[in-house]
């Protein structure tokens, strides 16, 4: 797991000082876009990772009666539901200086 085994991220809302977030770029809007783009990347990675894991459980049933519950599938889904939101992970990475960005001029 690439994105899920890093340092733990707080899974709740934290009030942050906007001037501290804007300090590296000098503009809160640029900071917001950097964080948003990174959050989209994280979400895409998690989605593809989850899809790969759930692919082995897929059955090609045409009706609801043929669908069955699989305990392993439920556990995997619960694990991914408990992960921190991609935006929280992106904010933490930005605060720690782990996101590379450049301004195209």
Cα distances (Å, whole numbers) of residue 49 to 6, 55, 97, 100, 102 = 15, 10, 25, 23, 28
DSSP annotation of 71 reads H
Continuous H helices in 63-102: 71-82, 86-95
15-50 confidence digits (pLDDT tens): 889 999 999 999 999 999 999 999 999 999 999 999
- The values of phi and psi at residue 39, to 5°, are -60, -40
Q: What is the distance between the alpha carbons of residues 98 and 57, in angstroms, rounded to a whole number?
A: 35
pLDDT recorded at residue 6: 55
Scan for tokens 């539901």, then name that residue: 81
Could you tell me which residues come within 8 angstroms of residue 50 by beta carbon, excluding any fewer than 6 positions away?
76, 77, 80
Average pLDDT of the chain to the nearest whole number = 83
């Amino acid at each position: 797991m690439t994105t899920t085994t890093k340092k733990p991220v707080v899974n709740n809302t934290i009030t942050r000082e906007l001037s501290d977030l804007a300090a590296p770029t000098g503009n809160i809007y640029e900071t917001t876009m950097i964080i948003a783009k990174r959050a989209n990347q994280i979400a895409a990675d998690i989605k593809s990772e989850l899809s790969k894991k759930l692919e082995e459980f897929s059955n090609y049933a045409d009706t609801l009666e043929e669908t069955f519950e699989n305990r392993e599938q439920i556990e995997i889904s619960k694990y991914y539901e408990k992960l921190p939101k991609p935006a929280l992970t992106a904010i933490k990475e930005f605060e720690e200086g782990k996101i590379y960005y450049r301004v195209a001029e």
